[in-house]
Every structure is written in C-alpha cells, then in structure tokens.
A and B are shown apart, each in its own frame.
Chain A
C-alpha cells in the first residue's frame, strides 16, 4: 500500500515538472496538478461518530438519517425524478421496493411508498427512463414514473437464472450504450465436490462456471431474454460480485469480488487463523469482454501480490497460479464488498470524483480475530481507471462499538450506494430495521 502512496506523489511531481516546462495547456496542466495533488482525505479509524446519525465522515461532509425502519433494504438508486428507490431483500407487507422522497429539503424523507407486489430482491437501477429491479431469478423494469411508485406491471427483461440461496443476488449495472451487465454469483465457496465439506477437492473443470460465477451481458431494452439463450457471458471466474458498476470516466466495467471463505478451518495445516482472516483478498477488477478473474482455481494474496493456487486445487498457500487475472487492488479478506459507485457529478472535492466508492458489508469469516470492514471506502482512480493512490475511509462507525467479535453485534452494515441528482451520496443498511443515510459535502 505504501508503494501506491509513493505513486501518487511521483505522478504529482511529474505533472508539476511538465506544466513548468510547457506554456501551452498550462491552465489544463495546473488543473490536473491540483486534482492529483489534493487526494481524497478520509476519516480516521476510531474517529467519533455523529451522535444523531451514528457514523463518522471526513471533514467537510455531513449526514442525515434520510429514512429509518424502511425494511431490509439492499441496493438503492436515486432517480432523476427526485425519489430514492430501494430493493428489499424481504418484502414489506407484500411489497419488494421502497420509494423515498424529501420534499422540504431537510435531508429526511417525508414521503414513503412501497410497491412491487410479490417480489423481493437486491438489485435496483435507473437506465434510459426506466426503473429496473431484480429478484434472484429475473431482472424487470417499469417506465420511471414522474413520482413515487409505478402503477403498471413490470416487464421482465432478463430471466432464466437458476433459483439458489447462496450468492443469489442478481445485481446489475448499465454502460450507457444499451447494455445491462448482471452478476450471477456462484452457489459455492470454492467449487468443492461436496459443498463446504472439509477435505472435499475442487472440481475441474468447475461445472458451476457454465451458468454462474460470471457477469452476463444483456440488451437493456429487449424483453424476455433468457440467461443462457440470449445473454452473453461477458466475464467469468467471479465468485460473487455484489459490488458492480460502470465507470463512466474510464468507460469500463468494474467489480469487487467476495473472496472465498474458510481457509483455516478447511486447511489448518496451511493457514493460521491470522492468515485466514486476511486472505484471500477482496479483489477489485476492471473487466473487459472475455475476462477471467480466476475463481475457483486461484485467489489473490495482496500481501504477496500474486494469484495463488486454490488449496482445493492443489495449492498450499505458497504456490503461485497462472490462472486468472491480477486485480487492480486487493482489500483485506472477508470485508464483503456489497456496493460500488462511480460518481458522475462534481459536487464533491476533486480528489473524490473519479475513483470507486465501495460499501463493505463487513466480515463474518475472520473469527476468532475481530470482524472488520463495516465501512464505505474510496479508492482513487485516474482518468484511465488505474489506481491512483491509497484507499481512504469515506464513512465508518456503522457497526457500533468495536471490536465486533460476532457479526450479530453489528448495528448497521453498509450495502447500497447511489448519487443523487444534486450530488448527495446515499448509503443503505438492511440491519436494525433498515436505514438510508444521506451524505452531503458542505465544504471545509
């Protein structure tokens, strides 16, 4: 991580040198220097949380509890009509979507509607004038209403996904050119012959890769597409990527993957509890068509900066793998990246505009070490979408008193992220009845 910090410094110095030697484009160069030399400043670990909202934020930012007791809200989207929509993991009074609006501008939603009869799920988004929603087996949409809840029935756009319980969320994103990308998680830990059974070897080829463990691309507007008949497997080797978003600055698809569980409990002769808490990395990738992340044959070790052979496939914690792609970055193990967002507006300081916001839901697989990761982080990227500095914490304190030794003690767990039309950032948590925060930049 230190090398990444040096990298930013060198880039800034190089640009300063460049701007001093060339008079043309001087203004543009100065702007770039200013942006690069003012990196995002996060909030320190252990910083006091706000008494009302329960979270801590970097200097200059403030939050409100936009809505409380909304239900088990997963992903959220702030629509151009001024409403914030949230997908509910478990329906509330028979409805799987919540719609929220703040009409008087005090940062608290004063209108709330529920809709989506007999559906529930995790994915939600807005594209080209439509509101999209996903259950675990289909993606559907309504014309985005002028206000609140749609009144008509949704149209199914993609379907045919197999019903599962593990890693079943079909979260999605759009590229702005008419395509929709859907995460199809693997109903598995490491493609073991016997599910999560100690000593059970990995299957090769892993049959799960056929219908799962990848990102499938669909036409965003064609109704009734079947996953296997009409969808295109855009990328594979992805265990589960709830954090999936299109980076409009670099014009590419990005994800953060949940790494596999239980290295120490399955392979105590290879991994200590401390190593198993840190490994494998939660991997941050940029995906092009045909990309293979590497699951289940390999995992990423951010301390070695190598892909390693998965122990179910003969690995021993030391053997480097040639299968899969190295991520752009590796976060500590089991933090559970559940939401990702790239900003399109410019309401935030320059250092915060082009990188990835990642909502980590927090770990359960670090015991007996303390659980970690219940926070939203910001990873700086440059115009080309390459990592341009060390990550910082953007919002923290969700879990309550630390250390969190057992996940049940976490009061809140960050999940969904969305940017409002005015540049505000919304963060959701499905715990403790379900809450949405609104975060705004007020200036220093």
Chain B
C-alpha cells in the first residue's frame, strides 16, 4: 500500500495509549469515543458539511436539556434536515441515564465548552 504501516501502527498506539482500557469503568471520554467520535471526531471537530463540530457549541453551553435531547433523539430533536449538515444523527436512547449524563458532561466541559455537568437524574425526565 501507499502508507507506511509501521508509522500508522506507532501513531495508533499513541492514540490508544491515551484512552482508558476496557477494564476501567466507563468515563465520559470513553463513552464519547465509543459512541460519538466516529462522526464528531475524537477532537470534537466534526466533519465539514456532514456532522457539526462541538467546539464552542451553542447547544453545549445552553441549558442542559438541549444536549440531553440531541443524545436521546438525535437530529430529530431539532427537526430532520434542519441542521444544514448532510448526515442525520441517530438517537442513543438505548444508553443508560448515567451513560448519557457522562457523555453530556464530557461534551459540555470539553472542546472549549463551559456548559457544566449533567447528572443521571437530569436525563430521565426528558425520555419520551
């Protein structure tokens, strides 16, 4: 192939070594990387025109219900096709309240956001 595999392996090792291992209890970061990073990217940068970046996010810095709703219901929470991004986001309502709270907290306190923490009790009332 056209890519130096040793270089790739070394780089991948560097990326993985900063992640928590499977044995540790899930954290906001590990849950984000497992469920969200494939589209929003590990750095929260999103993909131009396809999936929004999470940096200085209006939603992440607003009242916590907005982030919880997007995680629970996906882009349907704001109306399909309204985002200006081409991909639709699925809902993650199969995650537990605690998992959603950890992800919401991670997004609201990283990527240059200061929205503050979310707890599991915040999530339950927003389920439909």
- A pairs with B: yes
CB-defined contacts of B80 to chain A, threshold 8 Å: 165
Q: A53 contacts the other chain (Cβ, under 8 Å)?
A: no
Tell me whether A365 and B53 are in contact (CB under 8 A). Answer: no
Q: A168 contacts the other chain (Cβ, under 8 Å)?
A: yes
Cα separation A403 to B42 with both chains bound (whole Å): 14
Given contacts A166-B87, A197-B91, A364-B50, contact A369 B12 (CB under 8 A): yes
CB-defined contacts of B50 to chain A, threshold 8 Å: 364
Q: B116 contacts the other chain (Cβ, under 8 Å)?
A: no
Tell me whether B12 and A165 are in contact (CB under 8 A). Answer: no
Tell me whether A406 and B43 are in contact (CB under 8 A). Answer: yes
Tell me whether A165 and B8 are in contact (CB under 8 A). Answer: no
Chain B interface residue number, banded = 35 or more
Q: Is chain A's binding surface mostly helix, strand, loop or mixed?
A: loop
User: Which single member of B3, B43, B87 contacts A165 (CB below 8 Å)?
Assistant: B87
Q: A261 contacts the other chain (Cβ, under 8 Å)?
A: yes
Min CB distance A121 to B, Å, is 13
Query: How many contacts between A and B, using CB within 8 angstroms?
Result: 82
Tell me whether B41 and A406 are in contact (CB under 8 A). Answer: yes
Q: B48 contacts the other chain (Cβ, under 8 Å)?
A: yes
Q: A409 contacts the other chain (Cβ, under 8 Å)?
A: yes
Q: B96 contacts the other chain (Cβ, under 8 Å)?
A: no
Q: B16 contacts the other chain (Cβ, under 8 Å)?
A: yes
Cα separation A4 to B3 with both chains bound (whole Å): 18
CB-defined contacts of B90 to chain A, threshold 8 Å: 194-198
Q: A178 contacts the other chain (Cβ, under 8 Å)?
A: no
Tell me whether B88 and A165 are in contact (CB under 8 A). Answer: yes
Min CB distance A334 to B, Å, is 11
Cα separation A166 to B80 with both chains bound (whole Å): 11
Q: A372 contacts the other chain (Cβ, under 8 Å)?
A: yes
User: Which single member of A166, A195, A262, A409 contacts B86 (CB below 8 Å)?
Assistant: A166
Min CB distance A330 to B, Å, is 12
15 new A-B pairs (CB below 8 Å) besides A165-B88, A196-B89, A368-B42? A89-B49, A165-B85, A198-B35, A198-B90, A264-B38, A364-B39, A364-B51, A365-B38, A367-B41, A369-B11, A369-B12, A370-B11, A405-B43, A408-B53, A431-B48
13 example contacts (A-B, Cβ-Cβ < 8 A) are as follows A197-B90, A198-B90, A198-B94, A261-B38, A265-B34, A273-B12, A365-B38, A368-B16, A368-B42, A406-B41, A406-B42, A408-B43, A408-B53
